[in-house]
Chains A and B, each alone.
Chain A
Amino acid sequence: MKKKHSLGYWLMFVLMTLIAFVSFFPFFWMFLSSFKTQSELLSMPPTFFPNNFTTANYTQVFKQMPFTRYYINSLLTSGLNTLVGVISSSLIGYVFAKYDFPYKNVIFLVVLACMMIPYETLMPTVYKMMVGIKWTNSYKVLTIPYFVNIFGIFLMRQFYLDLPDDYLEAAEVDGCSQFEIWARIAMPMANSTTSSLVIFLFMASYNSFMWPLISVDSRKLFTLPVGIASMIWDRGNQYAMLLAAASMIIVPVCILFAFMQRKFIEGMTSGGIKG
């Protein structure tokens, strides 16, 4: 079916292309520049394509710091945090949306209130707590505090509120236990919202800097953001090398996004993210 597009459509098309270009440009520049020498990178006027193509920055990344270790730390902790975070958000959101229990609304209000306090103000308290139970400087401190995410709970609850009870009741008479209803019907139906949450939680954990910085001292436990920052502190700004590191760091995010993209966008448009 061929359809004539209106002027508005073409304006939109041009605008979207522009926005896409503007968003993509820095990444493209970063990628190209990671193959330049430090001096070329800082030269005036700046070059766009590398004059002297070099991969030295990449080898340096691995030489000057335990980059692989940081990478593994980041992937492991973020992966685990995302997995547990998605499950906990979905379960807790489901309970808030579909079950009745005393003081439900009050409890939910308290939970929401927690979201309104900026994380930075909570950090000292949480840190003291971690010191108290001797969790600092361990993988525990890099994972467990991420296992429950209030925004995630809120997002999933919103989805489940809109999910008709009939499906759940059908599952119930079809013989499911309460847990199976969630696991086999409700959770799969939340697919698109869950995908957006996967990206959100992964990014939140993968990018987090302050918390791993203050709660971990051992280099063996550093995640990518902290590891790179520590290299800067140790050896000063080596921009070309940083860009090489950054180019490698965004790879998992790109892969994740490519995997989840379609569902993510569905989730954005199908009433997943509200308020």
Chain B
Amino acid sequence: MATVTLKNIRKVYPKSHNTNKSNLKETADGVLAVDDFNLEINDNEFIVLVGPSGCGKSTTLRMVAGLEEITGGELYIDDVLVNEVAPKDRDISMVFQNYALYPHMTVRQNMEFPLKVQKKSRDYIDKKVEEAAEILGITEYLDRKPKALSGGQKQRVAIGRAIVREPKVLLMDEPLSNLDAKLRNQMRAEILKLRKRINTTFIYVTHDQTEAMTLGDRIVIMKDGVVQQTGTPQEVFDSPHNLFVAGFIGTPQMNFYDGRLVEDKGRYHVEIKDMKVALGKEKTERLKANGVKSRDVTVGVRPEHIVLSEGENVLRSVVDVSEMMGSVVHLHVNVDDQDSIIIVPTIQLKDRSLVKSGAEVDFTFPEDVIHLFSKETGNNLEY
């Protein structure tokens, strides 16, 4: 149980000869893997760091753990500056992607290890290990060596080893990425349950946005070492602050169209090809507050917000492929050579021919699901 505060945290890796060019900014001393990271994590909060490979998630986590030196900025755990504090004195524990179970120890010895290092009493150790094994359902494997466990079981042991100590902060670096899809879903649910049973602040790293959305109280979306947006899953889904976040969160991906925002006597409307959509009161007010004038924009709309329409004011498209998902159908359509995805509830598909490729569909969307991004910066014009 603890608060964690990251203030202007930076990480510069010294240049090495073999690093090929990456998206990262370079400074005189090396590559900037994490830049100006600010976050206040509340007691008992579950924070998820998410982003594509190489964006600096692990680096950030390892700085919190104390495994990586902090180049700049301040890190506080419970209001104590810990930049120079050794990992063992930070009262954190960590679950590694490849489990890192000690191969020469049995499961029980692995789980005991952190407590033994702390020289706790035998009774206390036994009690804690049994409790953790109980929670994770690994009691029957306690006397096996890690070699004789399946991936999912190893992962449980790794989590067990991390929770026996009741750390202030529990760090997890892509703990589920070595598991197959089914097991991953199952473990995800278990982590949610675990979270209810133990009182700890979680920082969880993943590149999987579904994991991030389902687990996190708040999500931190990173790209190229820079935080793009921090917010609850709902916030980042409903109001992505830029194109990257909009595209990263949500599957299938948000559709983007080139369009034009037109301001006319204090009212706004958006034009995409022949379609015109007038914006409602809320959006208008936010745009006004930001002083947005008429301009070219990128318009973003999520596939599930698109509705098929047969009226006049629509976008016309041709179906490429359609995927039957059961309760919904994913239509991959072409709008003037631009790909879009439309999700249609199966129940609405009376006309079966729609599902065939080559069919023509017209669609539109309500004004309140539109996201408007600057063409230059990619930032959301409303925020």
Interface residues of chain A, those whose CB is within 8 Å of chain B, are 164, 166-167, 169-177, 180, 184-185, 188-189, 191
8 smallest A-B Cβ distances: which pairs?
A170-B100, A166-B100, A174-B114, A175-B117, A175-B88, A173-B94, A173-B87, A172-B87
CB of A189, distance to nearest CB on chain B (Å): 6
Given known contacts A173-B67, A173-B93, A167 and B102 CB-to-CB distance under 8 angstroms: yes
What are 19 A-B residue pairs whose CB atoms fall within 8 Å in the complex? A166-B96, A167-B102, A169-B67, A169-B96, A169-B100, A170-B96, A172-B66, A173-B171, A174-B88, A174-B93, A174-B114, A175-B88, A175-B114, A176-B88, A184-B113, A184-B117, A189-B102, A189-B103, A189-B104
Which chain A residues lie closer than 8 Å to B102 at the CB level?
Answer: 167, 170-171, 185, 189
B65 at the binding interface (Cβ < 8 Å): yes
Chain B nearest CB, measured from A211 CB (Å): 36
Give the interface of B toward A (CB within 8 A): 65-67, 86-88, 92-94, 96, 98, 100, 102-104, 113-114, 117-118, 161, 165, 171
Give which listed residue, A169, A174, A189, contacts B113 with CB less than 8 A: A174
- Of A164, A167, A169, A188, chain B has the most CB atoms within 10 Å of the CB of A169
User: Given that A166-B100, A185-B102, A188-B104 are known contacts, is A174 also in contact with B67, CB under 8 Å in the complex?
Assistant: no
**Dominant SS among interface residues on chain A:** helix
B96 to A177, Cβ gap below 8 A?
Answer: no
Residues of A within 8 A of B87 (CB): 172-173
**B residues near A171, Cβ cutoff 8 Å:** 102, 113
Assembled-state Cα–Cα distance A184/B104 (Å): 10
B65 x A173 contact (CB < 8 A): yes
Residue numbers in A under 8 Å from B103 (CB-CB): 189
CA distance A191 to B65 in the complex (A): 29
The distance in angstroms between the C-alpha atoms of A259 and B44, with both chains bound, is 52
Shortest distance from the beta carbon of B51 to any chain A beta carbon, whole Å = 21
A175 touches B118 (CB 8 A): yes
List of B residues within 8 angstroms of A189 by Cβ: 102-104
Q: Known contacts A173-B87, A175-B88, A176-B117; is A166 also within 8 Å of B93 by CB?
A: no
- A residues less than 8 Å from B171 (CB atoms): 173
B67 touches A177 (CB 8 A): no
B294 smallest CB distance to A (angstroms): 55
How far, in angstroms, from A176 to B161 measured CA to CA in the complex? 14
**Docked CA distance A176–B93 (Å):** 12
In whole Å, how far is B155's beta carbon from the nearest beta carbon of chain A?
14
Q: Which chain A residue shows the least CB distance to B103?
A: A189
Knowing A166-B98, A169-B67, A180-B117 touch, does A174 contact B161 (C-beta < 8 A)? Answer: yes
| Docked complex Cα distance between A188 and B106 (Å) | 13
In Å, the complex CA distance between A170 and B92 comes to 11
Could you say which residues of chain B place their CB within 8 Å of the CB of A166? 96, 98, 100
A191 touches B93 (CB 8 A): no
In the complex, the chain B residue whose C-beta lies closest to that of A170 is B100
- In this complex, the member of B100, B118, B161 whose beta carbon has the largest number of chain A beta carbons within 10 angstroms is B100
Most buried by B among A166, A174, A176: A174
Q: Are B88 and A191 in contact (CB under 8 A)?
A: no
B117-A167 in contact (CB<8A): no
Contact with A191, one of B96, B104, B113, B114 (Cβ below 8 angstroms): B104
From residue B117, how far is it (CB to closest CB) to chain A in Å? 4
**Structural contact, B92 and A173, CB atoms closer than 8 A:** yes
Q: How far is the CA of A170 from the CA of B94 in the complex (A)?
A: 7
Determine how close the nearest CB of chain B comes to the CB of A265; give it in whole angstroms. Answer: 18
Q: A171-B113, A173-B66, A174-B93 are in contact. List 12 more A-B contacts (CB 8 A).
A: A166-B100, A167-B102, A169-B65, A170-B94, A170-B96, A171-B102, A172-B66, A172-B88, A173-B87, A173-B171, A174-B113, A175-B118
